[in-house]
Structure 1
Amino acid sequence: MRLVLLGPPGAGKGTQAVRISARHGIPAISTGQLFDRQISAGTPLGRRAERYVRAGELVPDEIVLDMVAERLAESADCGAGFLLDGFPRTLAQAEALDRMLTVSCGPLDAVLDLEVGESEVLERISRRALSEGRLDDGAETARRRLKVFAAETAPLRSHYAGQGLLRTVDGSGPPDGVWARVEEVLAAVPRPQVRASRP
């Protein structure tokens, strides 16, 4: 199963991604974790991404695409399935991902959109900042990230709805309740045929 998980910062994508990965046996690929790994390692991609992450801004498409392509290439057969958490974030990224998957893993099977109200999102981000000390979770930074999401990421809904892939999930409330709704949606997604490995 090849999936994308959408939703604003603080929507609980990371929590649900871990559960989806474990339940369905597919790797969860988080752009946030990719950024952290590349930044901590001091790679050229990491150095380019760091200033955007610290400012709470979207990392430019070319940097994100390079990181995702590199990560997908690590899988022996990405056609068997994966979950992209936090990518794509712009329409240009989504279109580039479509092209990338057409020649590599095969098309997406579904895009899950976690919907959560702004007040609940800000409360979650505040708690996470206190417990984890994340660079990108200050109060003002969080508000900027939500504005960026509304302006640049929300159009993805139309893109994926037009492809018949969008599945909206109520992401409010405790994680267990959200998980039950995610599983209900995934149960209705047709299982893909695994692309045969090339000789």
Structure 2
Amino acid sequence: MLQLIESEVAAKPTLTTTTNPRHKPRFYAVLGGPGSGKSTICASWAKLDGGVMHIAIGDILRSEAKRPDSPYAEVLKANLAKGAIGDPEMTVGLIKDHMRTTIKAASGPIHTYLLDGFPRALASAQYFERTVGPLSGVIILDIPEATLIDRCRQRNRSDDNEDAIRERIRVYNTKSAEVVAAYHLQGKVSYVTQPPDSHIRPWTGVLSAMMMDSYLPLDIPETVLRDVVACGILIWRFCDIRYDRRGGDAR
């Protein structure tokens, strides 16, 4: 699958069309409980940068569940009701189909894919890495449960009754723990503690720092790259502290 992505990118020359491994298409998991703002952070970033593609796993699965001729419809409906996404082969297969379609429809080259709500289990992560490509990082939206429940209630979605919300939070906490632990050992996990809204907040600094080398010139030395990324992280932390103290945007 990564070869397919790279061949699509190669048809549209850009900084990302290179043999330099730093500039191959990258995949970032964005995880959090229901109502944590995963879709907001992904959609906001994709709007800012045309080279970033938002892969909304929940939307893909809900759309497939509604398709009358889908062989997965009943399984998906049952899984979605309890906050699960199903076996890796089915889920990753649907993600691949979606990516093939969106890559061809994209107006320009894609250098970064944000996996909104995926993977939720270690088996899914491992299958994705075997069949699509490695995860470059995992962003965790670490939001209090009470906030998640309140935000879900306000969405008025058919699958957002309180019992279903609590069950989905429980499933997320249980299943995601092994994913977080595995990628934490690889030094790939970053945490966001501010619930995103419709505006770009200082939490985007997390993604900026993780993705920094997607935007830098190809000939930049690796030692300089590490310093630049470290500076980006320090700037984000400073902005995040100011955000916390003021109770709003740092200005």
Q: TM-score, normalization: structure 1?
A: 0.81
Tell me the CA shift for residue 191 of structure 1.
2.1
2 CA distance for matches of 1:56 and 1:3? 24
2:98 corresponding residue in structure 1: 71
Tell me the CA shift for residue 47 of structure 1.
3.8
2:138 corresponding residue in structure 1: 111
1:165 corresponding residue in structure 2: 188
Within the alignment, does 1:94 sit opposite 2:130 as a pair? no
1:24 corresponding residue in structure 2: 49
Structure of larger gyration radius: 2
Distance 1:11 1:150, change over 3 A: same
Which runs of 5 or more residues in structure 2 are unaligned?
A: 1-25, 216-251
Which runs of 5 or more residues in structure 1 are unaligned?
A: 194-199
2 CA distance for matches of 1:67 and 1:159? 24
1:197 corresponding residue in structure 2: none
Q: Match of 1:181, SS?
A: coil
Distance 1:122 1:187, change over 3 A: same
Distance 1:117 1:180, change over 3 A: same
2 CA distance for matches of 1:188 and 1:52? 34
Q: TM-score, normalization: structure 2?
A: 0.66
1:187 corresponding residue in structure 2: 208
Q: Percent identity at matched positions?
A: 25
Larger RCO (CA under 8 A, 6+ residues apart): 1
Preserved CA contact (<8 Å) 2:36 2:143:
yes
1 CA distance for matches of 2:129 and 2:214? 16
> Which amino acid in the other structure matches residue 49 of structure 1?
L
Tell me the CA shift for residue 142 of structure 1.
0.3
Q: Match of 2:213, SS?
A: coil
1 CA distance for matches of 2:84 and 2:165? 12
Preserved CA contact (<8 Å) 1:2 1:108:
yes
Tell me the CA shift for residue 81 of structure 1.
2.0
Tell me the CA shift for residue 100 of structure 1.
2.1
Within the alignment, does 1:45 sit opposite 2:72 as a pair? yes
